[in-house]
Amino acid sequence: MKFELDKLRPYHRTEIDQLFTKVKAQMHQQAVARGCDGLALYTDCYTGKTLRGGDPYDYEHIRSAEEVFMTYRDRLTNNQIAQVVNCPENVSVTLRSINQSKGKTPLEDWLTNLDNISKYNIDIMLAKRNLKKADKAIKKMVDKY
């Protein structure tokens, strides 16, 4: 029996969030080990600045979960989409203020606002490089399904 997908199903995050919680915990363990002093050590994916445990940072889907879901809901299950959204290249860390400002806006659109770049000290080349890596990994995962 072949499973039939509802190609117009609404955006749904349950599976995405369940896996995101696990990915964040793994990332945190790795960051604490990197920090060598009990504090997590990260590099902001948009500024390149060092972030430490206690800094106001968020785990970030570089390509938003909703955008990935809506793009691939016609061919992937919710569990497959959760795997794609939470691939290592698409999950990173950035300052909470950047994450909240970006919201669900595609990064390339958010970067066209020069106020965002100057206000948050965005390293445009780094941000675009990380977006390209995320998109490439997302496509590779989708292709394997």
Q: Two tokens at 13?
A: 């995050």
In a domain, 52, yes or no: yes
In a domain, 8, yes or no: no
* Residues in contact with 109: Cβ distance below 8 Å, sequence separation at least 6, in sequence order: none
In a domain, 56, yes or no: yes
In a domain, 85, yes or no: yes
Calculate mean pLDDT across residues 113-130. 97
The pLDDT-based confidence of 8 (bands split at 50, 70, 90) is: confident
**Domain total of the chain:** 1
In a domain, 5, yes or no: no
d(CA 113, CA 130): 18
Asked whether the predicted pLDDT for residue 131 surpasses 90, the reply is: yes
Instruction: Give the range of the structural domain holding residue 137, as residue numbers without chain letter.
Output: 14-144
> What is the residue-averaged pLDDT of the chain?
94
In a domain, 127, yes or no: yes
d(CA 44, CA 128): 13
d(CA 100, CA 96): 6
d(CA 86, CA 20): 6
Calculate mean pLDDT across residues 77-91. 97
The predicted pLDDT at position 104 comes to 86
Q: How many CA atoms lie within 13 A of 96 on its CB side?
A: 6
Give per-residue pLDDT as tens, 21-76.
999 999 999 999 999 999 999 999 999 999 998 999 999 999 999 999 999 999 99
The predicted pLDDT at position 86 comes to 98
d(CA 90, CA 132): 10
The predicted pLDDT at position 102 comes to 93
In a domain, 9, yes or no: no
Residue listed under structure tokens 């994450």 = 99
Global model pTM greater than 0.75: yes
In a domain, 4, yes or no: no
Separation in Å, CA 39 to CA 33, 36, 46, 54: 8, 7, 21, 8
The predicted pLDDT at position 1 comes to 43
Asked whether the predicted pLDDT for residue 82 surpasses 60, the reply is: yes
